[in-house]
Amino acid sequence: MCGRFTQHLSWEELHRLADLIGQPRNLAPRYNIAPTTQIEVIRLDQSGKQLTPMRWGLVPLWWKKPLKELPATFNARAETVAEKPMFRSAFKSRRCVIPASGFYEWTGERGAKTPHYFSSPDGRPLAFAGLWESAPNPETKELMDSATIIVGPANDWMSRFHDRMPVILDWNDASAWMTGGDPAALLRPPPENALQEWIVSQRVNRSGVGDNDPALIEPERLGASESA
């Protein structure tokens, strides 16, 4: 799964990678993003690729109950995303890319878990495969955009830490993911050298803590492992 990630990105960098359109804007850095908060999402509309703020946790068009009763929809499983009622409509026609600077995962036993941070070895943003939806907020009736990150089986390198991971696209495949006729073909684990890793502070365990603190992603101790 992917339950916490980071976005410390620049509009200019995303423009180069994804050929964004629209007015450039300053993007506030986020270092401890938790579900139901707002994230930056790249989606395609009639004019091109737009960077749009959305709720992290997809709300399907047919959902009418209060949001607090919505099951966890911040992740969608790659194996079932085309069939699950929560996601199948968005999978057909509303695929997106969620840019990320990195993400967190935990190892160890309950009550003594160690947080790890994962990012691209070359420092470029990661491109998570995602889905988006636009639907009325059941409580306010205002139109609300929301999104989910697709997760799939871990590659061999990641399996040392967890058996699941976000589906990470090559940026060259971003357009095909959003517009192509066979999106399932892109729901595969990334190359073994796609990520690096190190241990970080347990402060990240508490959602909302350190969201604007870059120290949260710094290595916690000497000897933290990185990818070979």
pLDDT band at 136 (very low <50, low <70, confident <90, very high): very high
d(Cα 127, Cα 120) in Å, to the nearest integer?
10
- Give yes or no: 96 in active site: no
Q: Which residue has the higher pLDDT, 140 or 110?
A: 140
- Give yes or no: 105 in active site: yes
Q: Which listed residue (40, 96, 105, 197) is catalytic?
A: 105
31 backbone dihedrals φ, ψ, rounded to 5°: -120, 0
pLDDT exceeds cutoff 80 at 19:
yes
Cβ-proximal residues to 131 (8 Å cutoff; 6+ apart), any chain: 58, 76, 81, 87, 90, 91, 94, 95, 96, 147, 148, 150
Per-residue pLDDT at 91: 97
Q: Which listed residue (2, 40, 96, 133) is catalytic?
A: 2
pLDDT band at 223 (very low <50, low <70, confident <90, very high): very low
Beta bridge partner(s), residue 129: 97
Percent of the chain at pLDDT > 70 equals 96
pLDDT exceeds cutoff 80 at 225:
no
Alpha helices in the chain (DSSP H): 11-18, 88-93, 174-179
d(Cα 197, Cα 186) in Å, to the nearest integer?
24
The residue ranges of every structural domain in the chain are 5-217
Q: Is 182 exposed, middle or buried (0-12, 13-18, 19+ CB in 10 A)?
A: exposed
Please write the tens of the pLDDT for every residue from 178-198.
Answer: 998 899 999 999 999 999 999
Report, as an integer, the average pLDDT of 135-139: 92
pLDDT band at 221 (very low <50, low <70, confident <90, very high): low
Q: Which CATH class is domain 5-217?
A: alpha beta
The verdict on pTM exceeding 0.85 is yes
Per-residue pLDDT at 110: 83
Instruction: Enter the tokens of residue 32.
Output: 């401890």
CB 4 within 8 A of CB 37: no
Report, as an integer, the average pLDDT of 82-111: 95
